[in-house]
Amino acid sequence: MRLKLLFTLLFGFVMFTQQGTAQTKRKLQTQLVNYDKNVDAPLTAKELAMLKEVYQDKLEEYVLSNAQRVKDFKHLLRNRLVIREIPNVTDESKYTLLSSVKLFNNYNPDLKRDDTFNSSTFNPLKYNLGFFTSGSSIYKIDNTNYFIIIKPQTTKK
């Protein structure tokens, strides 16, 4: 009986210390996002149209009613997401092709991939890109010299 109680207490102690370690590590990895002043301006018509295409009738509930989420999307679209033409790339195989990325059609099952790339109408929010992962990401738009560059939310000091 004593041996069983001892093992139970030892197991509880090990679990308690592991949880404390996990909590500490998580706090060390969290960094604040530094927003530029341009996120204070309202959503543009183009940005709102992009969000509407993806979120449809859930736009108000999941995005617009949450001031922080709106701020995060403005920061993403205005400061972190860059579509750039890069001619003469030597090794295209190291970049993920946009055609291999799934559509983000959770709220709009009728979303379709773009047949051709047009920089003025392209909506990167339609794709399940790594917008909120740590670090940066680069995707190549198929059959073009254009790349989608997603800068990280936070910068290490």
Residue given tokens 């917008």 in the structure block: 131
Does residue 1 lie in a domain region? no
Does residue 45 lie in a domain region? yes
Does residue 25 lie in a domain region? no
Q: Which amino acid is at 74?
A: K
**What's the confidence (pLDDT) of residue 105?**
96
Does residue 75 lie in a domain region? yes
Does residue 140 lie in a domain region? yes
Does residue 116 lie in a domain region? yes
Does residue 126 lie in a domain region? yes
**What's the confidence (pLDDT) of residue 28?**
47
**What's the confidence (pLDDT) of residue 91?**
84
- Mean pLDDT per 10-residue segment, the chain (157 residues): 59 59 51 87 97 97 96 95 92 91 96 92 95 88 94 74
Number of structural domains in the chain: 1
Does residue 155 lie in a domain region? no
Domain interval for residue 67:
34-150
**What's the confidence (pLDDT) of residue 9?**
58
Burial class (CB in 10 A: 0-12, 13-18, 19+), 76: buried
